[in-house]
Amino acid sequence: LSNNQVVKLAQKIAQSTDSYDGDRFFTTVDGVQRATPLFLVLLCVELSDLLFAVDSIPAVFGVTEDPFLVFTSNIFAIAGLRALYQILSKAVSQLEYLDTAVAVVLGFIGVKMVGEVVGYELPEEASLAIVLGILGVGVGASVLNNRKKEAEEAANSDESGGD
């Protein structure tokens, strides 16, 4: 772990210790305040949020070129996704076709960006409608598939309960 680039960066920013001190980010060792490994965890989480925001900028530019929208969407992504993680992780696990829908959305955005280079412009409203439509189809297909599975399980339990 000491060869990890994030750990090395954190040690350059703040002197750190190898031991935890309860739930504290910093502790005092020999009269000097030092960061605990918990601070390194926080630094990794915040760094991943920053990388996620930077990584999503091209996708947002695929939908709009308005800098205000790009900036605010990334700020809300950083602020909101971690808070919603527990809810989203459970919901995503139940949405079987969401991964496919997101892949199609990313493909659409890539094609749209290439189209803009060659001079084809698609209005922002149309882009948003297409993205929402694709995601809606993915979520809808997942919900229908889940209902079908539940109905089949209920029918199977009724059949096995009658024997």
The distance of Cα 3 from the centroid of its chain, to the nearest Å, equals 27
Question: CA-to-CA distance for 104 and 150, rounded, in angstroms?
Answer: 27
DSSP letters for 6-51: HHHHHHHHS-B-SS--TT-SEEEETTEEEE-HHHHHHHHHHHHHHH
CA R_g for the chain: 23
Backbone φ and ψ for 3, nearest 5 degrees, come out as: -90, -5
pLDDT in tens, 49-105: 777 777 777 777 777 777 777 777 777 776 666 666 666 667 777 888 988 998 999
Question: CA-to-CA distance for 110 and 129, rounded, in angstroms?
Answer: 16
Residue type (1 letter), 121: E
Judge whether residue 134 has pLDDT over 70: yes
- pLDDT number for residue 94: 84
Question: CA-to-CA distance for 110 and 15, rounded, in angstroms?
Answer: 44
